[in-house]
């Protein structure tokens, strides 16, 4: 745990760079600050490693509760279903041993399921195992949604929504095929002095 904390701390501290000029003064206007661009693949990698880290990189902090809420539901259902699966599995095995003449484990059965028959316990065991496996699948799916969201948001981070965009709709005729149609022309005015 200490190693993970140290690596995380060093990574966070390495992203902020400071330099000194020849006189020993601290120069905070480094060229790396002005040319640093948003890299969508970084958001993807971070979100794949730790859920929500890509959203933090995209500066979308409001999505963190949504990400962890989305991941908490299958995690909680996994814990519940796994607990009930182990209880019903033990109870079924105890009832099976009891039917074969060995009632030693019947007293260890959970009180909630003590009055169920062996066939009912077998059915519940199978249901809880299936639901536990579905919980794992939903967890993987939720993690994937987290990664996709970070990737899409990373790509749209520097999307231009200024008034310098225009679109023209014009009729179009192709004489080779003798077909008419509509053509859309997009014009992007590039401002290189950002």
* Per-residue model confidence (pLDDT) at position 191: 57
121-169 pLDDT per residue, tens: 999 999 999 999 999 999 999 999 999 999 999 999 887 677 666 778 8
**62-68: long-range contacts (C-beta < 8 A, 24 or more apart)?**
63/149, 67/146, 67/149
Question: CA Rg, the chain, in Å?
Answer: 30
Query: What is the tally of structural domains in the chain?
Result: 1
Inside any domain, residue 98: yes
The verdict on residue 75 lying in a domain is yes
Residue 148 within a domain: yes
For 170-176, which contacts have Cβ atoms below 8 Å and span 24 or more sequence positions?
A: none
Assess if residue 26 is contained within a domain. Answer: no
Tell me the pLDDT tens digit for each residue of 17-46: 444 444 555 555 554 445 568 899 999 999
Reported pTM: 0.63
Strand partners, 173: 180
On whether residue 137 sits in a domain, the answer given is yes
Domain annotation covers residue 109? yes
Q: What is the pLDDT of residue 29?
A: 53
Q: What is the pLDDT of residue 17?
A: 45
**Higher per-residue confidence, 78 vs 180:** 78
Q: Which domain holds residue 44?
A: 39-156
Q: Would you say residue 101 has pLDDT above 90?
A: no
Report the largest interatomic distance among the alpha carbons of the chain, rounded to a whole angstrom: 91
SS3 at position 194: coil
Q: Is residue 29 part of a domain?
A: no
Q: Is 62 domain-assigned?
A: yes
């Amino acid at each position: 745990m200490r190693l993970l904390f140290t690596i995380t701390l060093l990574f966070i501290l390495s992203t902020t760079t400071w330099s000194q000029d020849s006189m020993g003064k601290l120069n905070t206007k480094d060229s790396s600050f002005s040319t640093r661009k948003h890299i969508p693949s970084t958001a993807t990698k971070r979100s794949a490693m730790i859920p929500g880290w890509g959203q933090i990189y995209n500066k979308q902090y409001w999505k963190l509760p949504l990400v962890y809420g989305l991941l908490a539901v299958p995690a909680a259902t996994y814990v519940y279903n796994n607990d009930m699966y182990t209880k019903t599995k033990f109870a079924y095995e105890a009832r099976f041993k009891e039917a074969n003449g060995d009632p030693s484990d019947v007293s260890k059965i959970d009180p909630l399921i003590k009055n169920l028959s062996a066939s009912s316990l077998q059915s519940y065991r199978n249901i809880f195992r299936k639901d536990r496996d579905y919980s794992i699948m939903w967890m993987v799916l939720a993690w994937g949604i987290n990664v996709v969201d970070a990737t899409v948001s990373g790509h749209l981070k520097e999307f231009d929504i200024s008034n310098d965009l225009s679109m023209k709709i014009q009729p179009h005729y192709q004489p080779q095929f003798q077909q008419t149609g509509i053509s859309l022309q997009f014009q992007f005015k590039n401002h290189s002095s950002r």
